[in-house]
Structure 1
Amino acid sequence: MSGSAAGAPARPARRYGRRTLLPPVAAWVAANLFTWLIAKLSVTGDGSKVAFWSTGGRQRWDSGHYLSIAKTGYEMFWCRERYENFPDVMCGNVAWFPGYPMSVRAVSATGLSYEISAVVVTELCLLGMFAVLWWLLGSRLTWATGLTLAVGTVFPGGIYFHATFPIAMGTLALLVCVVGVKRGSWALAAAGGFVAASCHLVGAVAVGMLLLSAFFAWQGDPRPKRFLKAGASAALAGCGVLWAKWQMWQGTGRWDAYETIQESSYKQGDLRQPFEEMGKAYQFPFSDWYKPKGDMSWLVEHALAAHRTQLWLNIAFILLVLVTAAFLLVRDRRLEVEEWAALLLTVAVFLLPFFAGAQMSWYRNHAQMFVGLILVGRMPRWVQVPLLAACAVQFALLGAMFFAGVLV
């Protein structure tokens, strides 16, 4: 699995147009405008429209937990101690990682409210995502790179790139990790992996990619040094999870706080059968549990089961990434370092939620497959254009579910 197989023909240099910084900025603006349009077309059960430019319009269930961590830190308690009629399970906010809320706390030191700070962190990370992706694509505008950025503006699950969630921050961190591997900087790769792992458990896939990087990266170093860099960067990235657990211990006095609440309140923490979990995720009755009351817009009415088409699109996306990588390997007998990294991360991000049993949140976790756009840039135009159309339609449907309060 070498990034420069012996005897392989040199890959022809890519032809790029004029360098410019406008495309990633334009993609960020377009992503916000399209999301605002979806919010405008979404009507809640009481007939009111959602204000995309408000902080409340970007918050859903877990957002409150992230904001509580930013404001007061971690806590865990028996639910009945505070809520008399609640089931006898654990309550608290230790099921959520600290990377994002600690960043929100830092920004709030400027005097902004925690809610506004959360939006600022999210949007800056989204802008950073487009900028780093642009660099990885070569920083020159062509049909291929332009269409790739366009797909990024409506990426599957990307509605959460604008929400009070750590998805944009975690995705940016994964892209930075890829940059570190591509540039041969184990410190940068480790930093990106650390932040990704501290934002969400899904971000820990960076650890596995960095371990495997000894086989496709660091090609200018002798073999022992490659394994040293791969191991050191992976170990430091894994410290993101340890830092998260340390933060939880600081607030609760328990090292097993995360595992305890996952088992007690969410019946998670063990490995699941991924295909069985995939079926449960597909069949989850969002429209029965959270269906808005009263009149709904046409878009919301037709989007109440959009998580099902989301799963099909995500499967199609992962298959396209795999086929593209296989084609490049057959044609060129190798992949670029960043392409190996993106391939490994994309597959791992897709699979991890189903191994963990994330029936109600896999669609937002899958948004971190955004790193796979590095390989979308290598796809032919006749694949990119239909992919863009499918993503735009699905983004509108899932966005309507989000703004109508059907998603969590």
Structure 2
Amino acid sequence: MTATTEAAGPSHLGRCRALLPPFVAWLVTNLLTWPVAAASVAGDGSAVRYWSTDSRRRWDSEHYLSIARAGYEMFRCRERYPDFPDVVCGNVAWFPGYPMAIRALSATGLGYESAAVVISESSLFGMFAVLWWLLGARLTRATALTLAIACVFPGGIYFHAVFPIATGTLALLVCVVGVGRGSWVIAAAGGFVATSCHLVGAAAVGMLLLSAFFAWRGDTWPVRFAKAGSSAALAACGVLWAKWLMWQATGHWNAYEIIQASSYGQGGLRRPFAEMAKAYAFPFKDWYTPEGRLPWLVEHALTAHRTQLWLNVLFILLVVATAAVLLVRDHRLDVEEWAALILTVTIFLLPFFAGAEMSWYRNHAQMFVGLVLVRRMSRWVQVPLLLLCSVQYVLLASMFFAGVLV
């Protein structure tokens, strides 16, 4: 064996070992979700539903798949559905990053639905891998507990679904890595993908603008502002790409705003606490309860969105409190911790300022980036948080697989 081979062998083995904890986490979250799916769907064959593409699809999934198949469209609903309210219909309320990835993968011959699930699951594995790198890729009690919480993160059922949540969250984590490594190119690339996948990705633009004050520390202030501004501008181009595609298909630069205002009554800023109250009180169990005898788990999970909101509030308070303690005790936060803190707070607030009473719980799943700070919490906080997240994950996943959530 040559010296080159000897050197390459341990290096390759080391990379494989580094990927083992993220792979175990990805495997565990799937194995935990499988029995929840089985317990949430009545009838024969329910145990295998988790592995079907149909079980991963919910309302908005059809819009993402339609964009992947045929691009954007917008029309008056009554042009096609005479009995429908006279509002705007179409798929221009959804961003193109995830559908375009589906289209690209389907070029290999894979079906659109299968491609969508592969992208979601691959993104989820990527999330665990990048998070593990941000945790230092070293197995300790703190990092193991953080990775365990990641497996059952609140709202994490949407990481497995035909939605862009996992892809967008992976992009946000890459953005954090870019800022931490001092690479404005990586930060901008992560931000671009995040903004092209979901409106929540706009949090990356704000974080990158603020990065001049906590990152790029080896540069002069003019260079720091230049890197922060250029990376934020390139990240914002994800939104411009989305609007350009919509304009090409519909002839309207403001197609997104038109459908949001016409069909969903959204536009402008909302009163966040009023929106939070509306989200808490939304009657999912009255609107979308499946017919027939409900499985025990579903019957006891029909209002799990309410406990989800309480848990999300607890999570954001713990993240902010942890950052405050570190600032008081150590007089500093790491660059990645500053980035994660800003993203987590922004992601929590954004749905309530924008108005998202029926979808905030999946938007909040992208607070996954806050796990960068969870590793700095005491085990007396981590362990109860893990238990609470585990119970809530089961409840919300049950709502999802029963078809109660949208």
TM bracket (short chain):
over 0.9
Q: Distance in 2 between matches of 1:379 and 1:134?
A: 16
Q: Give the conservation status (yes or no) of the 8 Å contact 1:20–1:141.
A: no
> Residues 2-60 of structure 1: CA distance to partner in whole angstroms, max 9, x if unpaired?
xxxxxxxxxxxxxxxxx73211100000011111111011125x787370100000000
Give the deviation of 1:269 after TM superposition: 1.3
* Deviation larger for 244-253 or 256-265: 244-253
> Residues 304-323 of structure 1: CA distance to partner in whole angstroms, max 9, x if unpaired?
00000000000000000000
Q: Give the conservation status (yes or no) of the 8 Å contact 1:67–1:114.
A: yes
Q: Distance in 2 between matches of 1:83 and 1:172?
A: 38
State the one-letter code of the partner of 1:104: I
1:49 to 2:49 alignment: no
Determine which of 152, 168, 171 is the counterpart of 2:169.
171
> Residues 71-130 of structure 1: CA distance to partner in whole angstroms, max 9, x if unpaired?
000000000000110000000000000000000000001100000000000000000000
Give the deviation of 1:260 after TM superposition: 0.2
State the one-letter code of the partner of 1:260: I
Q: Distance in 2 between matches of 1:21 and 1:403?
A: 30
Determine which of 371, 377, 384 is the counterpart of 2:375.
377
Aligned to 1:100: 98
Aligned to 1:10: none
Residue aligned with 1:91, SS: strand
Determine which of 375, 385, 388 is the counterpart of 2:386.
388
Q: Distance in 2 between matches of 1:20 and 1:354?
A: 38
Q: Give the conservation status (yes or no) of the 8 Å contact 1:299–1:400.
A: yes
Q: Give the conservation status (yes or no) of the 8 Å contact 1:47–1:295.
A: no
Determine which of 346, 355, 359 is the counterpart of 1:348.
346
State the one-letter code of the partner of 2:46: K
* Deviation larger for 384-393 or 47-56: 47-56
Residue aligned with 2:89, SS: strand
The number of residue pairs the alignment matches comes to 390
Residue aligned with 2:50, SS: coil
State the one-letter code of the partner of 1:214: A
1:207 to 2:200 alignment: no
Q: Distance in 1 between matches of 2:201 and 2:114?
A: 24
> Residues 169-212 of structure 1: CA distance to partner in whole angstroms, max 9, x if unpaired?
00000000000000000010000000000000110110000000
Residue aligned with 1:396, SS: helix
Instruction: Give matches, 1:153-302, under 5 Å.
Output: 153-302=151-300
State the one-letter code of the partner of 1:315: V
Q: Which runs of 5+ in 2 are unaligned?
A: 1-16
Residue aligned with 2:290, SS: coil
Task: Quickly say closer, same or farther: Cα 1:359–1:349, change in 2 above 3 A.
Answer: same
> Residues 361-402 of structure 1: CA distance to partner in whole angstroms, max 9, x if unpaired?
000000000000000011111111110000000000000000
1:122 to 2:123 alignment: no
Q: Distance in 1 between matches of 2:405 and 2:46?
A: 16
Q: Distance in 2 between matches of 1:267 and 1:365?
A: 18
Residue aligned with 1:111, SS: coil
Q: Distance in 1 between matches of 2:259 and 2:285?
A: 27
Task: Quickly say closer, same or farther: Cα 1:47–1:307, change in 2 above 3 A.
Answer: farther
Q: Distance in 2 between matches of 1:295 and 1:374?
A: 42
Residue aligned with 1:112, SS: coil
> Residues 318-350 of structure 1: CA distance to partner in whole angstroms, max 9, x if unpaired?
000000000000110000000000000000000
Q: Which has the higher helix share?
A: 2
Greater RCO, 1 or 2 (C-alpha within 8 Å, sep 6+):
1
State the one-letter code of the partner of 1:336: D
Aligned to 1:80: 78
State the one-letter code of the partner of 1:89: V
Q: Give the conservation status (yes or no) of the 8 Å contact 1:47–1:296.
A: no
Aligned to 1:71: 69
Q: Distance in 2 between matches of 1:47 and 1:206?
A: 45
1:20 to 2:18 alignment: yes
Aligned to 1:12: none
Q: Give the conservation status (yes or no) of the 8 Å contact 1:186–1:230.
A: yes
State the one-letter code of the partner of 2:238: G
TM norm structure 2 = 0.95
Residue aligned with 1:52, SS: helix
Q: Distance in 2 between matches of 1:58 and 1:279?
A: 28
Q: Distance in 2 between matches of 1:40 and 1:355?
A: 36
Q: Give the conservation status (yes or no) of the 8 Å contact 1:167–1:364.
A: yes
Q: Give the conservation status (yes or no) of the 8 Å contact 1:132–1:175.
A: yes
Give the deviation of 1:62 after TM superposition: 0.1
Aligned to 1:58: 56
Deviation beyond 6 Å, 4+ runs, structure 1? none
TM norm structure 1 = 0.94
> Residues 268-307 of structure 1: CA distance to partner in whole angstroms, max 9, x if unpaired?
0111000000000000000000011111111100000000
Give the deviation of 1:214 after TM superposition: 0.2
> Residues 127-173 of structure 1: CA distance to partner in whole angstroms, max 9, x if unpaired?
00000000000001111111101000100000000000000000000
State the one-letter code of the partner of 1:222: T
State the one-letter code of the partner of 2:153: F
Query: Percent identity at matched positions?
Result: 74
Q: Give the conservation status (yes or no) of the 8 Å contact 1:177–1:206.
A: yes
State the one-letter code of the partner of 1:291: T
State the one-letter code of the partner of 2:298: V
**CA-atom RMSD in angstroms:** 1.1
